[in-house]
Amino acid sequence: MKMRLHKKFIFIACVLALIEVKPLQASPWVMPDNLLIRHDIQILVDSGALNIPISTWPIAWGDIAYNLTKNESEMSLIEIASFQRIKEALIDAEMGGLSGQTDIKVTKNPNPFTWFNDTVTYTKSAGAQSTFLSKNLAINLKVEKIPGDTLFNESYLSIARGNYSIDVGSKKRWWGPGWGNSLVLSTNANAIKGLAIERTFSDPFESRFLKWIGPWDFSIMTGELNHSRTVPDPRFFGMRFDFRPIPTLELGLSRTSIFCGETQSCGFTDMLLDKDDSGYNSVSFDFRSSHLINETPLAFYGQVMGEPFKDSMGLFGFETWGLIDSFTGLESYRVFIEASSTSCEFYKNNSSKYGCAYRNDVYVDGYQYDNSNIGHSSDGDSITLSLGGILVANNSQLIKSKITMGQLNRGSVSSYQLKENRTNFFNFMLGYNFDLYWFDIPLGSFDLGLGYDIFKDKVNNSSENEPRVYLAWSNSTDFSQEKARDFSEYLELIEVSEEDKLLASEDNKKVKKDSFTDFGNLDLFEIIDVLDQVSIQRGDTSILAKVSTSIQSADNIISEIDSLSKDGKTLSDYLGLIDSTISQRN
């Protein structure tokens, strides 16, 4: 009877979700599984249009809306494209009420190496969720059917009070600056069920002694791990503080612990102070520093974690990004290179430390939940090198790819989950995200791709080759809508206001009657702004209405406006007419 209800719930949600598609799951937060939204947020942060910590996920939409600082007219083309997508997401995030979402995923040979992406981790799954949002309340119920089990992951109740939210249930989390992995907390394992308190707005301290810290974020959580462990039902504790002392630098401090359990004491203070070997108590530090060198944006990031800290594992990366204006249909790109070692004292490469990482003498099952590592997806004693990237195309299409190679379980420690022996590996994936429409009818969001894995066991001298294909589909609908939040007052500060437009109009009127506007001294956008204003005043917007709004080069925009003239006039003729009109008007 219970299984029948689950199937019925999923079937009803599938039918209802065909009504209307939405680009993001209804939530007060940006979840750590959306590469495109993270790319956009990162662009705005690195350009100075947004100043918030972004290495603790999920991130509250309200914090993003409240801290947008640049005026739209001050943004570059790549910033404008990212801002427009964030703006649309914020408008969606304002809406509350009851909504639902359905997901179907199938794959041959699931990818064992997860990253900051909604990776398909089961051969097949069908899920449905229902979400209710109001101003201070968020409820999400998710049911996912996988082979041999039914999961309720990512189901939660969240209440907002002041500048904090209190959550009961489970949410995806990602702590750290990495794109390929996080040593501390990633989406590799299922979300841990428990209690969490998270800061909503990252406002700086008002105290003049602490104001140097800049915008800061804080999260604390605790939950229960599996019963089927050597020490049944241990507790997991996590605490994180990250901040931006200067606009180009973000720092993070994390503390995670496994303690308590049926046969162990549950002294919270002892765990917090790490007294008497009270459990697995790790400390981590991470950073991300962004720069602009020869007009090329780039960033360096790193993360170290150890228990104790001298037994640290390490992860370090480099990334760059930019605008694509030489290929029609493409907007921007991001590329990263990331290297990691999950062996203790990674800086020494000491084989005597094999079996130390993510392990503890008391909690011998290690740093795992539901048989997957809570942190790095390669588990302990592995060394990996990843090259990954994304291409953003028109209409928010996304092409993503990642190549990872290295060696797993270098000490052949039997308790590590991914491979039981020292194993060389090569992992490749290529994916494509897009929204599909039939005329104006949305058919859902699709993610399809392929991959290939090669594993060579260095102990048994055996090898495995595993090709992979996958398809994921999701669709959502609003059963009832009401505006639960209002971000408009923040967005209006970013958009060009009517007052600014009026002031610009007054400045234009100050031009002498006997003079002409020198278009040679104006850039393209100022010329188009004048063209726009005069066309609207004359009631002639037919040409501008046909001009593409996608990102193009200056020559392409001028050529497009020129070619759309039906009366034989060139762009120069129109500019001359505008020049004359402005000079004759008061």
Domains, the chain, ordered by start = 2-483 (2.40.160.130), 498-584 (no CATH)
CA distance readout (Å), 42 to 54, 243, 284, 344:
8, 15, 22, 31
What mean pLDDT is reported for the chain? Answer: 84
pLDDT of residue 372: 93
Residue 355 has pLDDT above 80, yes or no: yes
Residue partners of 364: CB distance under 8 A and separation at least 6: 230, 415
**Alpha carbon distance 229, 231 (integer Å):** 5
Lowest mean pLDDT among 433-442, 490-499, 573-582: 490-499
Instruction: Using pLDDT thresholds of 50, 70 and 90, give the confidence band for residue 328.
Output: confident
Instruction: Using pLDDT thresholds of 50, 70 and 90, give the confidence band for residue 487.
Output: confident
**Alpha carbon distance 268, 278 (integer Å):** 9
pLDDT of residue 5: 40
| Of 467 and 275, more confident | 467
Residue 275 has pLDDT above 90, yes or no: no
Backbone angles phi, psi at 308, to 5 degrees: -75, -175
pLDDT of residue 268: 78
Q: Which is nearest to 117 in space by CA: 443, 402, 467? A: 402
Instruction: Using pLDDT thresholds of 50, 70 and 90, give the confidence band for residue 248.
Output: very high
Residues 494-511, mean pLDDT to the nearest whole number? 50
Lowest mean pLDDT among 114-128, 186-200, 329-343: 114-128
SS3 490: helix
Residues 154-159, mean pLDDT to the nearest whole number? 96
Burial of 359 (0-12, 13-18, 19+ CB in 10 A): buried
Model pTM above 0.75: yes
**Alpha carbon distance 192, 585 (integer Å):** 68
Cβ pair 35, 119 in contact under 8 A: no
Neighbouring-strand partners of residue 314: 304, 341
